[in-house]
């Protein structure tokens, strides 16, 4: 059932929300980290693309510059060669030397039509003739007017030159050359490799490559790659599509970010510029972002777990406090009420019964050995009850020394009785505690849910009612609830309410005193009355004193009721005094509860003072049972009462358990012989009666003997014969109202 699960506080109620929140937070953190990482990558990519684009522009510009310089050199060579061609004095080696210095050319050679040098700057190679296959021979035979060669190695000096040729009309031609040291000074600054080397000095660049359209690495900042074939698909894609491509890859066992940019102009692809960026710093930043994300996730997870766990522990503690008994760990009364209500209203079980277990002597054990000992007893009781738990049985601690067992789907009443006996049998043997073994007196009540309209409160009430109906002197008793018990409870409740009304309003006529005359057998005169309490409840009639006195004691009203009796007795004594009977004595019954009250003497004296009662006109009657458990204390109080001039009478003598040896030490004045012995006078011969012995014993102890319940002449004669002092009973008079008592005294 849902409520039961809540009271058990299933961890899933906290674990599932925790997992859901954690999962959502994980997704959020993952997306946040990925967005930041993606942002980092995009930032790196944008930065790399921007730089690479600049590099590409630089390469193209360098290429353009190189072409321009080469064109300028060619133009210079052409101009110089044409200028020499038109000079009249060119056919002089010294003149050629002067011209070379003027135009800053290193070599000037004048060839005749057969390819022999006839004049030369510095007169170095005069007489040298071009041979078959030589570049000079090739120009000579080409018939071309003008030619500029690429840089080549000179066949004679082993130096590198850039040569230009111009042919005269007679077939002779001029060769001029510029040493490559001068040319490279200009051109090397614009070569791809030189540009690559310069650009590679930029921070975070791991390598720069220029791959030609035939996938040959023409230039690289890492020289070992120069001349290799680049076969990666990225280069092919870049060449094929003419688009920029980026990717993360590995170069020389190091993770890098590669950007491939096509180098093209006017629709022609010269090749691909590949820039390899170091990713150590960005990777470190990414790892930092991921680490921060992990730390945040861990911190939030720990905080969330702590909050959820704290909430779980706190709620579990609250549930424990609200629905579980802290001492025994069993579900408590609140849980019992909810559990029963759930079974009665929503449960699928057809039959539900409630057992209530009570320990009769628990209060005595608590008072005798202390509450800690009592707690140990309760813990052991809870452990023993654990032996009967099952699928359709649940144990609860109801309150104090009471436990409850809820039983479902049982067969019949006999099965419930068997289970009840099983429960009681758990306690047939003494319970072991740290202080030793202890026998427990147990009783059990059982309530069945016969009425489908029952509520949990009604079942608990009925179980308590059935428990209260058990005779507490009978150990290990089982009582099934019957509807008549409720009627009895209602009757007791009505009586209690009536008693309370009378206590609150002393003039209430529901409660009154009847006065039975006492006759002195020696003088044949009335010496007083016994005040007898009477209660009339509307709808219930007259209530037996035994019944309402018992209820007053159980409901803790006896002390106040006793004071009310004293008060009404005082009114009667006042009226007797007003009518001239101030020497008469009225006896009043006092319960042990009254007598043991610490304030009894003080309250009693106040009533005497307010009512203006002379102590000598009052007699208190106590029963033998009052003396049983508190003899010393009660006897001391009796002496204090006697010291005030009030006489003490021991009521119902002979039927109790007083020790005759103690009778001499009792602080009493009168012995009232129980009606049991007076009734025997009618049915037995004198030789079989001990009534005379009781009278004699009382006299020997200096006590007055009073016989109550005298109803026949034979009893009167016997009591007179054996010198009984005082008699009372229906033979003399029934109990009388105040007015009738006065009239009785007046002989009317």
Residue 346, domain member (yes or no): yes
| Cα end-to-end distance, the chain, whole Å | 78
Task: Supply the pTM of this predicted model.
Answer: 0.54
Q: Which range is most confident: 77-81, 259-263, 460-464?
A: 460-464
Within a domain: residue 512? no
Please give the structure tokens belonging to residue 82.
Answer: 């044409």
Confidence of residue 1 (pLDDT cuts 50, 70, 90): very low
More confident residue, 369 or 722: 722
Dihedral of alpha carbons 301, 302, 303, 306, sign: positive
Residue at which a domain ends, from 446, 481, 516: 481
447 and 581 share one domain:
no
User: Do 435 and 577 fall into the same domain?
Assistant: no
Give a yes or no: residue 543 inside a domain: no
**pLDDT, the chain, mean:** 83
Q: Is 423 helix (H, G, I), strand (E, B) or coil?
A: helix
CATH number, domain containing residue 152:
3.30.450.20
Total structural domains within the chain: 3
- Rounded Cα distance between 575 and 329, Å, is 63
pLDDT band, residue 226 (cuts 50/70/90): confident
Q: Is residue 397 part of a domain?
A: yes
| Contact present, 200 and 275 (Cβ < 8 Å) | no
Q: What are phi and psi of 108, to 5 degrees?
A: -140, 120
Q: Are strands 647-653 and 160-167 parallel, antiparallel or unpaired?
A: unpaired
Environment class of 502 (CB within 10 Å of its CB; exposed 0-12, middle 13-18, buried 19+): buried
Say whether pLDDT at 542 is over 50.
yes
What pLDDT score does 188 carry? Answer: 56
Asked if 617 and 586 touch (Cβ cutoff 8 Å), the reply is yes
Last residue of a domain, one of 164, 186, 208: 186
Confidence of residue 81 (pLDDT cuts 50, 70, 90): confident
DSSP 8-state code for residue 748:
-
Residue-range definition of the domain harbouring residue 685: 556-745
Same domain, 588 and 704: yes
The CATH number of the domain holding residue 395 is 3.30.70.270
Are residues 560 and 474 part of one domain?
no
Tokens 């700057």 sit on residue:
121
- DSSP state string for 225-288: GTT-B---HHHHHHHHH---EEEEEEETTEEEEEEEEEEEETTEEEEEEEEEEE-HHHHHHHHH
Summarised one tens digit per residue, pLDDT across range 409-458 is 888 889 899 999 999 999 888 888 777 788 888 899 999 887 766 788 88
Q: Which one-letter DSSP state was computed for residue 151?
A: P
748 pLDDT more than 70 = no
Q: Is position 96 within any domain?
A: yes
* CA dist 552 → 504, 510, 541, 556, 557 (Å): 14, 15, 18, 6, 5
Q: Last residue of some domain: 463, 481, 499? A: 481
- Give 471-511 pLDDT, tens digit per residue: 655 667 888 888 887 788 888 889 999 999 999 998 888 99
With tokens 């359209």, the residue in question is 213
Burial class (CB in 10 A: 0-12, 13-18, 19+), 287: exposed
49 inside domain = no
| From 33-47, 265-279, 586-600, the region with the lowest mean pLDDT | 33-47
| Judgement on whether residues 578 and 694 belong to the same structural domain of the protein | yes
Please report whether residue 661 resides in a domain.
Answer: yes
473 lies in the same domain as 562? no
Q: Is the pLDDT of residue 404 over 80?
A: yes
Q: pLDDT tier at 86 (50, 70, 90 boundaries)? A: confident
387 exposed, middle or buried (CB, 10 Å; 0-12, 13-18, 19+)?
Answer: exposed
Does 572 share its domain with 469? no
SS3 438: strand
Is residue 66, in this structure, part of any structural domain at all? Answer: no
**656/155 Cα distance (integer angstroms):** 157
Per-residue pLDDT tens for 233-289? 666 667 666 777 777 788 777 788 878 888 777 767 778 888 887 777 777 777 787
- 365 with 455, same domain? yes
Domain check: are 604 and 737 in the same one? yes
> In CATH, what number is assigned to the domain containing residue 586?
3.20.20.450
Q: Are residues 473 and 574 in the same domain?
A: no
CA distances from 340 to 138, 318, 508 (A): 121, 21, 43
pLDDT in tens, 183-204: 565 555 556 777 777 766 766 7
347 with 437, same domain? yes
Q: What is the pLDDT of residues 52-63, one digit of tens each?
A: 666 666 666 666
Q: Which of 187, 170, 169 lies closest to 178 in space, CA to CA?
A: 187
- Let me know whether 568 and 438 are in one domain: no
Q: Are 585 and 647 in contact (CB under 8 A)?
A: yes
Q: Which residue has the tokens 């590409």?
A: 56
Tallying the residues shown for the chain, one arrives at 748
pLDDT at 166: 87
């Amino acid at each position: 059932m849902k409520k039961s699960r809540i009271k058990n506080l299933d961890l899933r109620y906290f674990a599932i929300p925790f997992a859901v929140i954690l999962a959502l937070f994980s997704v959020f953190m993952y997306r946040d980290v990925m967005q930041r990482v993606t942002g980092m990558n995009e930032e790196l990519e944008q930065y790399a693309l921007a730089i690479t684009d600049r590099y590409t522009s630089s390469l193209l510009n360098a290429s353009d510059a190189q072409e321009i310089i080469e064109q300028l050199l060619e133009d210079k060579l052409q101009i110089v060669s044409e200028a020499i061609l038109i000079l009249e004095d060119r056919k002089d080696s010294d003149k050629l030397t002067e011209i070379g210095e003027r135009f800053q050319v290193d070599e000037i050679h004048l060839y005749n039509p057969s390819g022999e040098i006839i004049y030369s700057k510095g007169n170095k190679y005069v007489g040298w003739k071009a041979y078959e296959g030589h570049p000079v021979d090739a120009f000579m035979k080409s018939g071309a007017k003008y030619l500029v060669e690429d840089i080549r190695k000179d066949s004679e000096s082993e130096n590198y030159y850039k040569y230009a040729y111009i042919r005269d009309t007679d077939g002779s031609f001029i060769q001029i050359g510029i040493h490559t040291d001068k040319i490279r000074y200009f051109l090397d600054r614009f070569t791809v490799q030189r540009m690559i080397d310069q650009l590679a000095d930029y921070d975070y660049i791991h390598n720069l490559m220029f791959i030609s359209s035939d996938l040959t690495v023409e230039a690289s900042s890492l020289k070992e790659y120069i001349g290799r074939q680049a076969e990666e698909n990225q280069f092919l894609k870049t060449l094929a599509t003419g688009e920029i491509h980026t990717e993360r890859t590995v170069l020389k066992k190091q993770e890098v970010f590669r950007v491939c940019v096509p180098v093209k102009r006017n629709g022609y692809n010269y090749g691909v510029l590949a820039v390899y960026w170091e990713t150590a710093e960005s990777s470190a930043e990414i790892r930092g972002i991921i680490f921060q994300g992990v730390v945040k996730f861990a911190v939030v997870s720990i905080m969330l777990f702590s909050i959820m766990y704290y909430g779980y522990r706190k709620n579990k503690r609250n549930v424990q406090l609200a629905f579980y008994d802290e001492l025994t760990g069993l579900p408590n009364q609140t849980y019992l009420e909810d559990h029963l209500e759930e079974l009665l209203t929503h449960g699928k079980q057809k039959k539900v019964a409630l057992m209530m277990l009570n320990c009769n002597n628990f209060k005595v054990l608590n008072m005798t050995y202390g509450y800690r000992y009592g707690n140990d007893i309760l813990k052991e009781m809870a452990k023993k009850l654990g032996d009967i738990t099952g699928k359709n049985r649940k144990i609860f601690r109801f309150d104090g020394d009471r436990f409850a067992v809820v039983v479902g789907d049982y067969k019949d009443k006999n099965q419930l009785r068997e289970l009840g006996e099983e429960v009681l049998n758990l306690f047939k043997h003494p319970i072991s505690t740290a202080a030793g073994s202890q026998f427990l007196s147990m009783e059990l009540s059982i309530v069945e849910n016969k009425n489908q309209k029952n509520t949990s409160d009604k079942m608990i009430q009925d179980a308590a009612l059935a428990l209260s109906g058990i005779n507490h002197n009978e150990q290990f008793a089982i009582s099934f609830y019957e509807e008549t018990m409720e009627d009895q409870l209602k009757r007791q409740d009505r009586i209690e309410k009536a008693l309370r009304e009378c206590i609150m309003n002393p003039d209430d006529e529901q409660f009154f005193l009847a006065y039975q005359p006492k006759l002195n057998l020696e003088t044949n005169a009335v010496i007083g009355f016994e005040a007898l309490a009477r209660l009339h409840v509307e709808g219930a009639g007259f209530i037996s004193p035994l019944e309402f006195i018992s209820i007053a004691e159980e409901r803790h009203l006896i002390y106040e009721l006793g004071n009310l009796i004293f008060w009404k007795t005082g009114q009667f004594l006042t009226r007797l005094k007003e009518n001239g009977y101030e020497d008469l004595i009225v006896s009043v019954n006092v319960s042990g509860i009254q007598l043991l009250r610490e304030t009894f003497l003080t309250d009693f004296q106040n009533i005497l003072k307010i009512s203006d009662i002379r102590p000598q006109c009052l007699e208190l009657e106590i029963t033998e049972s009052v003396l049983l458990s508190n003899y010393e204390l009660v006897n001391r109080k009796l002496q204090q009462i006697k010291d005030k001039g009030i006489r003490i009478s021991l009521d119902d003598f002979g039927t109790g358990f007083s020790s005759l040896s103690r009778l001499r030490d009792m602080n009493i004045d009168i012995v009232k012989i129980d009606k049991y012995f007076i009734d025997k006078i009618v049915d037995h011969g004198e030789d079989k009666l001990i009534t005379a012995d009781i009278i004699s014993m009382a006299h020997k102890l200096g006590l007055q003997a009073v016989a109550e319940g005298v109803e026949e002449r034979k009893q009167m004669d016997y009591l007179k014969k054996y010198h009984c002092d005082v008699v009372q009973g229906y033979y003399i008079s029934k109990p009388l109202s105040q007015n009738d008592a006065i009239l009785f005294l007046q002989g009317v």
